[in-house]
Structure 1
Amino acid sequence: MGWISALAVYFIIWWTSLFVILPLGHRSQIENDQVTLGTDHGAPSNARMGRKFIQTTILASVVFAAFYLVTQVWGLSPDDFPNFIPHS
């Protein structure tokens, strides 16, 4: 895998991980009794996006390391797994 492909795979993993991290620790404006006029009541009262970006980067790095280990070091691919056809 070249470095451009690795960067593309990491970006996809990072972006997917962001959607996993976003709802963690979410407290809405209603839960905190801090509703700002003109905003949705379910919007977060304190999003802490910097912290979520750091958590996303850590999670994406761990997932990418596992992906790299399986595909590049061990040399496995989806074709290496046996085809499973359930018998009726």
Structure 2
Amino acid sequence: MRWTSIVAIYLLFWSLSAFLVLPFGVRTHEEAGADRVPGQADSAPHDYRFGKLILRTTIVAAVLFGLYYANYVNGWITPADLDYSR
């Protein structure tokens, strides 16, 4: 596998992981016991930490990509295994 393919596939896993990780650990102002800003949505996060999101996303993406690459090298699941039209 070329290194450009590795980077592209990792970035796909990273963007997927960002959406998977996004709702975890988020507390609203009501849950945190803080006052809301006038006009703020009820579901807006109280203390949004972008760095923590990036770190969690990177870890999840690395694990998922590691599994994908191990499958690519070892051939555990092949396209023939997923062909149900037979």
Give the TM-score taking structure 2 as reference length.
Answer: 0.84
Which consecutive residues of structure 1, in runs of 5 or more, have no partner in the other structure?
none
SS at match of 1:81: helix
**1:10: which partner in 2?**
10
SS at match of 1:47: coil
What do you get for the CA RMSD once the two structures are aligned? 1.8
The answer for the alignment partner of 2:21 in structure 1 is 21
Instruction: Please give the TM-score of this superposition, normalised by the length of structure 1.
Output: 0.82
- Partner AA of 1:80 in structure 2: A
Gaps of 5+ in 2: none
**Aligned residue-pair number:** 84
The Cα offsets for residues 31-88 of structure 1, whole Å up to 9 and x where unpaired, read as: 22331123212100011111111011011001101100101x2135542315446xxx
The one-letter code of the counterpart of 1:10 is Y
Which amino acid in the other structure matches residue 59 of structure 1? Answer: V
Q: Percent identity?
A: 32
Residues 34 and 45, structure 1, Cα contact 8 Å, conserved in 2:
no
